[in-house]
Structure 1
Amino acid sequence: MATAAILALGVATPATVPAHAQQPSDRRGDNVVIRWNNAGLDAVINSHLGPPMVARALAILHTCIYDAWAAYDRRAAGTQLGTELRQPPRERTPRNKDEAISFAAYTAAVDIWPELRPRFDTLMAELGYSKPRSKRAKAVGVRACRAVLGYRHTDGSNQLGDLAEGAYSDYTNYAPVNKPMRVDQPLDLRTVKNPNRWQPLIYVDQNGDQKTQAYMGPHMGNVTPFAMTSWDQFKMPPPARFGSREYVKQARALVDYAANLTDRQKVITEYWADEGPGFVSPPGTWSRISQFVSRRDRHNVDQDAKMFFAVNNAIFDASTATWGMKRHYDYVRPITAIRYLYHGKKILSWPEAGRPPKRIDGAEWWPYQPIFFATPAFAEYVSGHSAFGAAAAQALKSFTGSDRYGDSATVRAGSSRVEPGLSPRRDITLSWRTFTEAAAENGISREYGGLHFRDGVASGLSLGRKAGAAVFFKSTLLFAGVEVPPINAAQP
């Protein structure tokens, strides 16, 4: 699509944000696990963490919840203290359990999002815990979570910013091979030193400020996983190399996808994105889906403490493996590969709001994305969206004992962020019979959107399924009371 045409579309207003992107809200009767899950999603929306940091944050939140809950179960073992916190039968009341969970979740939340502490104070007051009702329950929750935090503070994420400047800052001295590309201009071939490698972009953000991308979390593959032994435990084939037929074929496939996008495919692209201000981030998408499962199956606190724990740790391990591969291959994004391959050649753009696609210079090709978000600030291979979704789907399928999902969502006409007020031309309803179907649609949305090649999506799905299976296996051992030692924390 020509740059001028993209700029003419403008920037989406809050009214065009899809309904699923709204602030998380509690429903009457929601248990404390869901209340704190919503608090975590709200924190994601109101902070600036990237996808691997979000995956880790939600996993920590739910690990603290699980470890506090395990102290009140007759069998389960915690991740850090095993059965050391096991409470006597007389203490295992729903009231004490809820209180311990809430103090554990609060302890985690203020550690991960300290700037949002007033929000968590408000929730504690709503739950009746401005002051502890049971000092013993509070002590159990706090102790359980502090053990988790102590472990995670040395896991290689650099959450505390004690290894370099700023929280989660890179300590591996990553530097891009290619010079930045100005996305509002045709590609300058001189900026691409290696067409196999990631290229940062220069773009204008939603506030009208010019920004140059810095690679998000190049060290996050070093983070200690929950169940996996390392980011490269599950081997994936390498991506196609420049000069090969496969490299050209994968680029051509995305050009063809874009030129033939239907309204439904555009909706799929934007529905699953969950990126940017006002969104819960891709890992948060599946935490929200887990809430649907909880309400559908009428879960109690015991079921949700285990399910959210398994799902979020599956996503977390998938994120660690994904970011390890992204750093290892440092692979080129489609916006660079396509502009490089088709520089000076005529190709078709994506069709604007129902009009036929235009013939443009390949050096100006633009993915089906908002003008302020051409491509995420990290390498292509493998697809994080695909890995997160497949891992979560595997965990949900294993926990519920069925692949049945059964949810749907209606996206309103004109709610697009890419073509605000113009697309879709009518309301479109998406529905998913199974978790596997939802994960597959989530994956292919990244091809429709021009952000990932087919191999990146396929390998992401495979990697996610394997990570999800590994996490669920370890989770079931803990549920059964087996004291599984945690993976040795990283010491970068």
Structure 2
Amino acid sequence: MKIVKNIILPLMLSPLLLTACGGSSSSSKNEVIVAAPITITPERSGQSVARQWNEVLLHAIRNDYARPTVHARNLFHISSAMFDAWSVYRPQVKPFLWGNNVAGFNCLAQAVDLPIDIIPFQEQAISFASYKMIKHRFRLSPGANNIIATADALMTRLGFDVDDTSVDYVNGSAAALGNAIAQCYINFGLQDGANEQQFYSNRHYQSVNPALALGAGQSGNPTIVDLNRWQPLSIQGYIDQAGNPVDDMPEFLSPEWGQVVPFSLSANDKTVFTRDGFDYQVYHDPGMPPLIGSDTADLYKWGFSLVAIWSAHLDENDGVEWDISPKSIGNINSFPTTFSQYNEFYNQLDGGDTSAGYTLNPVTNQPYQEQIVPRGDYGRVLAEFWADGPESETPPGHWFVILNTVSDHNLLEKRWAGTGEILGHLEWDIKSYFAMGGTMHDAAIAAWGIKGRYDYIRPVSAIRAMADLGQSSDEQLPSYHLNGILLVDGYIELVGANDALAGDNKQNFGKIKIYGWKGPDYINNPATDKAGVDWILAENWWPYQRPSFVTPPFAGYVSGHSTYSRAAAELMTAMTGSRFFPGGMSQFDVVANEFLVFEQGPSVNMTLQWATYQDASDQCSLSRIWGGIHPPADDITGRLIGEKIGKNSFEFVQDYFNQ
């Protein structure tokens, strides 16, 4: 199976009326199926209408601003609206918002008469609900015209009238029902704590650090005030993660997101912290990260030094080759529970983790075939593949792409939790989107609530700031400072008098140098150039990212990628009833010198492979360290929280399916 990103699947034909005796359906055993004229619907002819609207939604996200929190919410609310529209015609299923009170918001609903053939009504209600919500949520997007045109096209292909805005559903109109459900979600979203009315802007948060200027002629981090707190970046020609030019320096995205109404997160798991007169709501509080100037300062220095060291791995010519198949990578059964255990989990000098791999593919009962590639290619490809950069569907949307790919696999039996009857395409998609949307929404609320509360520094700020101070390894050596960076032979050293980096006037003598990726200044043409790895002044250290982006505009602790991915992996395991991908492996093909975006590479063809959903999640987490975005402290805490969220969300969603 291949996970293919950024593809809009073909839309299905409009409904046609045919006379037939019976027909396939996703109906439950309690529904009546009679021999009568039936409608040939998307459900009965191939791809479900829910899937088609999900593809339009992912297309919309790719053409919007890069806002992972906002899009996790969009994915949940629109998936939930589809679920509610579907559930109205399934009395044994409980809607989420329709006819219910959620966090003090009442969505009033009246009962409707059930038709004999419910699927056409479900599909029409789902379509109008999705259409109206997508138009509302993406009306101010930079790609709004394209998004709305895509939504209009699907409505036309399905044979629905885009001008039908009635909400008078009591007379039996499925279109009006969909419109009414969408309006409930729109009203709910205007008071759920996301501050949608003000374009999701911050109401209280202020950064304690002035911006770090990055670009030509800018070095070090001379203006930082607090080495433990997040620092905005000032980048000339800044382009956000979705590829949109941004004139102003981006502010912290969603530091107050812990206030948003969640899906399954429990008040029992919530802690409230007050800072500067604002209550930061935190679910699954992990406690303080390692802090400079505290008794965890050594762990702080170790973590950020590891990020700098791993940037030395981004050169395919270093002679190091790895087997990147499931034979050697994956199958991690536990994570460290304290910061002091991290050095046993991560390989600080050589990269990677404690993966054990698998002896056999449990589906084929055959060994996984080795795949030997340069480590420098592997690390760069991971950083790019999981970065969810320009025109991506953001991390929560990426897991919807993975879900869709799994759902398409011919070996997947669509049995909920791996048991019971095989579900029709529509029922499977509706339930799995509802569950995945709620899980991604909760992951965003938990991760960004923590980000806002702890306001933790990113590697580009920490590494440059520590290097400006000096080294903290040996008081007898030059440039000693208690809060300086740790020296590591071969990776982080002092500039000597005869060093090429010392300068003509020895002005850099005694400064810190790092053996790592040289940065974007060494790339003129990304199609033909690569920066490579060499000794650079630490004050010029750069994450393996685009020069117009550098680092996401929000705090690091905890990693959103790690939280989203682990939560999704746990949910996928529970929904499918197996921790393994269908067939025992999923993969993504990478073509030499065509995949990397901001430099040439990789030097060889390779195939990213994962045996289990957790393996894909773990790979995503490591990619953020090679990408220079997160230290280990951000990563493991995110994985542990995501694991809780995924499991709890699956248990929570069962109550809606089993009335």
User: Which TM bucket (shorter chain)?
Assistant: 0.7 to 0.9
Alignment of 1:119-134 (within 5 A): 119-130=150-161
Find the partner of 2:119 among 94, 114, 131: 94
Task: In structure 2, give the amino acid aligned to 1:40.
Answer: L
Ranges in structure 2 where 5+ consecutive residues have no aligned partner: 13-45, 101-108, 271-280, 315-375, 415-423, 469-510, 520-528
- Aligned identity (percent) is 29
Alpha-carbon offset, residue 217 of structure 1: 2.1
| 1:365 match | 541
Output the CA distance in 2 between the equivalents of 1:88 and 1:416: 53
User: Is 1:312–1:392's contact at 8 Å kept on the other side of the alignment?
Assistant: no
For residues 78 and 454 of structure 1, what CA distance do their matches in structure 2 show?
40
For residues 114 and 555 of structure 2, what CA distance do their matches in structure 1 show?
51
Cα offset for 1:76?
0.7
Corresponding residue to 2:191 among 117, 136, 154: 154
Identify the match of residue 305 of structure 1 among 409, 420, 430: 430
TM-superposed deviation, 1:428? 1.6
Alpha-carbon separation, structure 2, partners of 1:355 and 1:380: 26
Q: Does 2:101 correspond to 1:64?
A: no
Alignment check: 8 A CA contact 1:73 1:92 kept: no
Is 2:280 the counterpart of 1:255? no
Whole-angstrom CA distance in 2 between matches of 1:61 and 1:407: 28
Q: Which residue of 1 aligns with 2:90?
A: 73
Say yes or no: does 1:105 pair with 2:158: no
Q: Deviations over 1:336-361 (max 9, x none)?
A: 11111123301112278788621111
Alignment partners' CA distance in 2, 1:415 and 1:224: 42
AA matched with 1:400: T
SS state of the match for residue 148, structure 2? helix
Residue 74 of structure 1 and its aligned partner are, at CA, apart by 3.9
Residue in structure 2 matched with residue 140 of structure 1 by the alignment: 177
Residue 239 (str. 1) matches residue 289 (str. 2): yes
Aligned residue identity for 2:200? Y
Contact persistence 1:370–1:417 (CA under 8 A): no
**What is the one-letter code of the residue matched to 1:342?**
A
Q: Which of these residues, 566, 588, 591, is aligned with residue 409 of structure 1?
A: 588
Aligned equivalents of 1:188, 1:210: Cα separation in 2: 23
Q: Is the 8 A contact 2:258 2:449 kept in 1?
A: yes
* 1:188 positional shift: 4.6
- Mark the CA change 1:39 to 1:285 in structure 2 (over 3 Å): closer, same or farther: same
Distance 1:348 1:316 in 2: 39
Aligned amino acid, residue 152 of structure 1:
G
In structure 1, give the amino acid aligned to 2:589.
Answer: T
CA distance in 1 between partners of 2:172 and 2:64 (Å): 32
Corresponding residue to 1:274 among 385, 388, 412: 388
Instruction: Tell me, yes or no, if the aligned pair for 1:21 and 1:274 is still in contact at 8 Å.
Output: no
Number of the residue aligned with 1:182:
213
1:326 aligns with 2:326: no
Match of 2:591, as an amino acid? R
Partner of 2:512: 345
State the partner residue of 2:238. 205
SS in 1 for 2:586: strand
Partner Cα separation in structure 2 for residue 64 and residue 469 of structure 1: 23
SS at match of 2:196: coil
> Contact 1:159–1:168 (CA<8 Å) still a contact in 2?
yes
Aligned equivalents of 1:117 and 1:135: distance in 2?
27
Q: Equivalents in 1 of 2:96, 2:250: separation in Å?
A: 37
By relative contact order (CA 8 Å, sep 6+), the higher-ranking structure is 1
For the 8 Å contact 2:283–2:449, the answer to whether it is kept is no
1:42 corresponding residue in structure 2: 59
Give the number of the structure whose alpha-carbon radius of gyration is greater.
Answer: 2
Which of 603, 607, 610 is equivalent to 1:425?
603
> Normalising by the residue count of structure 1, what TM-score does the alignment of the two structures yield?
0.87
Report if aligned partners of 1:186, 1:363 keep a CA contact under 8 Å in 2.
Answer: no
Question: Counterpart of 2:148?
Answer: 117
Q: 1-side partners of 2:112 and 2:652: how far apart?
A: 23
- Structure-1 residue corresponding to 2:401: 288
How far apart are the structure 2 equivalents of 1:320 and 1:209? 25
Residue 24 (structure 1) shift: 2.7
Structure 1 residues 90-99 or 349-358, which shifts more? Answer: 349-358
In structure 2, do the counterparts of structure 1 residues 283 and 355 end up closer, same or farther at CA, with 3 Å as the change threshold? closer
Amino acid corresponding to residue 99 of structure 1 in structure 2: Q
SS in 2 for 1:318: helix
Cα 1:66–1:356, aligned 2, differ >3 Å: closer, same or farther? closer
What's the TM-score once normalised by structure 2's chain length? 0.65
In structure 1, the residue matched to 2:635 is 457
Aligned residues: 455
CA distance in 2, matches of 1:392, 1:338: 31
C-alpha contact 2:207 2:230 (8 A) present in aligned 1 = yes
1:162-185 deviation per Cα after TM superposition (whole angstroms, max 9, x unaligned): xxxxx111122x221111112224
Q: Aligned runs of 1:358-397 on 2, under 5 Å?
A: 358-397=534-573
CA–CA separation in structure 1 for the residues paired with 2:553 and 2:655: 37
Does structure 1 retain, via aligned residues, the 8 Å contact 2:304–2:459?
Answer: yes
1:145 CA displacement: 2.8
- 2:11–2:157 contact (8 Å) kept in structure 1: no
Q: Deviations over 1:222-266 (max 9, x none)?
A: 111111135523121321101310011001111111112310111
In the alignment, which residue of structure 1 is the partner of 2:277?
none
Residue range with higher mean Cα deviation, 462-471 or 127-136: 127-136
Gap regions ≥5 residues in structure 1: 1-18, 162-166, 482-492
Secondary structure, counterpart of 1:368 in structure 2: coil
CA–CA distance in structure 2, aligned partners of residues 108 and 470 of structure 1: 27
Deviation at 1:219, TM superposition (A): 2.4
- Please identify, of 290-299 and 339-348, the stretch whose mean Cα deviation from structure 2 is larger: 290-299
Comparing 97-106 with 328-337, greater Cα deviation is found at: 97-106
- Which position in structure 1 is the counterpart of 2:476? none
The answer on whether the counterparts of 2:563 and 2:638 sit within 8 Å (CA) in structure 1 is yes
Q: Distance in 1 between matches of 2:117 and 2:622?
A: 46
1:107-138 CA distances to partner (integer Å, 9 max, x unpaired)? 22122112443332221111111267995211
Post-superposition Cα deviations, 1:9-68, rounded to whole Å, max 9, x if no partner, equal xxxxxxxxxx94434323763211110111001101111151100100111110000011
Query: How far did residue 208 of structure 1 move?
Result: 8.4
Structure richer in helix, relative to its length: 1
Residue 451 of structure 1 aligns to a residue in which SS? coil
Stretch of structure 1 that moved more, 136-145 or 322-331 = 136-145
Moved more, 324-333 or 197-206: 197-206
Q: 1: distance between equivalents of 2:442 and 2:287?
A: 19
**Partner Cα separation in structure 2 for residue 70 and residue 209 of structure 1:** 41
Match of 2:71 among 39, 50, 54: 54
Q: 1:470 aligns with which of 648, 651, 655?
A: 648
User: Kindly tell me: are residues 152 and 208 of structure 1, through their superposed partners in 2, closer, same or farther at Cα, counting changes over 3 Å?
Assistant: closer
> How far off is 1:186 after superposition?
4.5
Determine if the alignment matches structure 1 residue 24 to structure 2 residue 8.
yes
